Amino acid sequence: WPKDVGILALEVYFPAQYVDQTDLEKFNNVEAGKYTVGLGQTRMGFCSVQEDINSLCLTVVQRLMERTKLPWDAVGRLEVGTETIIDKSKAVKTVLMELFQDSGNTDIEGIDTTNACYGGTASLFNAANWMESSYWDGRYALVVCGDIAVYPNGNARPTGGAGAVAMLIGPKAPLVLEQGLRGTHMENVYDFYKPNLASEYPLVDGKLSIQCYMRALDRCYAAYRKKIQNQWKKAGNNQPFTLDDVQYMIFHTPFCKMVQKSLARLMFNDFLSSSGNTQNNLYKGLEAFRGLKLEETYTNKEVDKAILKASLDIFNKKTKASLYLSTNNGNMYTSSLYGCLASLLSQHSAQELAGSRIGAFSYGSGLAASFFSFRVAKDASPGSPLEQLVSSVSDLPKRLDSRRRMSPEEFTDIMNQREQFFHKVNFSPPGDTNNLFPGTWYLERVDEMHRRKYARRP
């Protein structure tokens, strides 16, 4: 099979408007700091009524193809991961085929994959599996993930967001998916789900969802560690795998504080697996917790406090930079993890990243979760694939800063309009398309047969 399959190029799209979380705290009459410190969120991007999941994905794919200047017939597979469902049968992928029309390329495998925030990762795995199989025809794969994360009025609303990420998958990639190293955990829970097909909003048991995420993290990490240690053993290395073996660590990010706790939790996993006579200074304040089982600690505030303190430096070094987009735009569900990857690349130089391992944890409620990793290419010289990838996302801060700040009243009004227009037929969404970023696709019309027509802002 082809060598070094992974991510060659990456494109991020987020809406052109946001609401500030301090404004939202005041508007919702909650204590100052609850969203900004307690959840770690700064701003939340949200879509106008002219945007839906199809338009988000059209935009991000078009942008990626234009930037990479790839011919449209160079793509042999296109996978979409999303949980923003507007049609129970017709895949977003079929809408994206519109972009390929002029090229005549219709020989493109792949379809939508759905399970909460995990669909993007399942799509990435599918694309890589295709490329490493007998069905691969030598062309590239595109993985697209995107979502509109919205909640009804209440305590989950500040954990919303919206966006999409498109990734070009191919051989000789600067971010290589490490082979044989996926630790997965799946089980049946009702922590966050969308049974109401007439609404964009999920049903969510917030506290349960946090415990499920933590449990999945523990299990996936254990499974990954076992697999990598087995690989190492075969090569004659009997060392245990720890966080020291990943230089950067990215997570699915429902809100940033959760990620800081998750990184701390990985360190706690390492600590509990270590022997009592370890010389590791980081573990000094944790000895009191040595006898505990992981499952006993999900709601233990003392453990939380101690591991957050012990892991602060590691968090600052390995993970903080990856939260840039998440804190400024919010949860993007399937695209959240890949937005973190883009943030990490945008906040570090190619030289800093070269040769490193990036650990990745993907979580989708319900639940499906995996821990896997990327190996970053060693060559960071000017013009190298790694340097090109890193420079392609360097404008992320500038683009985020160019968004319009909307008041909580305007945000609420748009949320109400989205509720009102969801599944409405025979209408054109109101709004000024000049408020969208140039080059954005938008929903122009829904006819009486629910057929959707899209146009592109010049």
Exactly one of 42, 126, 159, 319 binds ligand CAA (CB under 6 A); that residue is 159
Count Cα atoms within 13 angstroms, Cβ side, for 353. 33
Shortest distance (Å) from residue 154 CB to ligand CAA: 8
Shortest distance (Å) from residue 217 CB to ligand CAA: 10
Could you give the angle at the alpha carbon of 370 between the alpha carbons of 369 and 372, nearest 5°? 160
User: Which residues in the 223-252 window bind ligand CAA by CB under 6 A?
Assistant: 252
CA distance readout (Å), 83 to 40, 48, 313, 334, 421: 24, 18, 35, 7, 19
User: Which residues in the 335-364 window bind ligand CAA by CB under 6 A?
Assistant: 363
Shortest distance (Å) from residue 231 CB to ligand CAA: 29
Residue linked to tokens 């075969």: 234
Rounded CA gap, 366 and 12, in Å?
26
Q: Which stretch binds ligand CAA (CB under 6 A): 201-209, 322-330, 379-387, 401-409?
A: 201-209
The residue from 25, 51, 79, 83 that is catalytic is 83
Shortest distance (Å) from residue 202 CB to ligand CAA: 7
| Residue 333 CB neighbours (<10 A) | 31
CB closer to ligand CAA out of 337 and 436: 337
83 is catalytic: yes
272 in Cβ contact with 294 (< 8 Å): yes
Residue among 295, 305, 322 at smallest CA distance from 214: 295
Exactly one of 74, 186, 210, 223 binds ligand CAA (CB under 6 A); that residue is 210
437 in Cβ contact with 172 (< 8 Å): no
CB closer to ligand CAA out of 9 and 116: 116
| 17 is a site residue for ligand CAA (CB under 6 A) | no
DSSP 243: G
| 331 is a site residue for ligand CAA (CB under 6 A) | yes
The footprint of ligand CAA on this chain (CB under 6 A) covers a number of residues equal to 27
Exactly one of 117, 220, 396, 400 binds ligand CAA (CB under 6 A); that residue is 117
CB closer to ligand CAA out of 206 and 397: 206
255 in Cβ contact with 331 (< 8 Å): yes
- The residue type of 49 is V
Exactly one of 181, 204, 303, 345 binds ligand CAA (CB under 6 A); that residue is 204
Alpha helices in 348-449 (DSSP H): 350-353, 385-392, 396-401, 408-421
Shortest distance (Å) from residue 336 CB to ligand CAA: 7
421 phi/psi in degrees, rounded to 5: -90, -10
Query: For residue 75, what is the enclosing H or E element?
Result: strand 75-81
76 in Cβ contact with 138 (< 8 Å): yes
Q: Which residues of 274-283 are buried (b: 16+ CB within 10 A; e: fewer)?
A: beeeeeeebb
| 365 is a site residue for ligand CAA (CB under 6 A) | yes
Rounded CA gap, 288 and 388, in Å?
48
Cβ-proximal residues to 239 (8 Å cutoff; 6+ apart), any chain: 229, 232
User: Which residues in the 28-47 window bind ligand CAA by CB under 6 A?
Assistant: 31-34, 37-39
| 208 is a site residue for ligand CAA (CB under 6 A) | no
Closest residue to ligand CAA: CB criterion? 38
CB closer to ligand CAA out of 213 and 442: 213
User: Which residues in the 37-96 window bind ligand CAA by CB under 6 A?
Assistant: 37-39
Rounded CA gap, 127 and 108, in Å?
12
Strands 161-170 and 357-364, by their bridges, are unpaired
Shortest distance (Å) from residue 395 CB to ligand CAA: 26
Count Cα atoms within 13 angstroms, Cβ side, for 448. 0
295 is catalytic: no
CA distance readout (Å), 303 to 265, 270, 311: 9, 14, 12
The residue from 252, 256, 348, 387 that is catalytic is 252
CB closer to ligand CAA out of 96 and 286: 286
| 307 is a site residue for ligand CAA (CB under 6 A) | no
Shortest distance (Å) from residue 149 CB to ligand CAA: 7
348 is catalytic: no
CB closer to ligand CAA out of 34 and 457: 34
Exactly one of 152, 206, 397, 431 binds ligand CAA (CB under 6 A); that residue is 206
Write out the catalytic residue numbers.
Answer: 83, 117, 252
Residues lying near ligand CAA in the complex (CB under 6 A) are found at 31-34, 37-39, 116-117, 155-156, 159, 192, 204, 206-207, 209-210, 213, 252, 254-255, 258, 331, 333, 363, 365
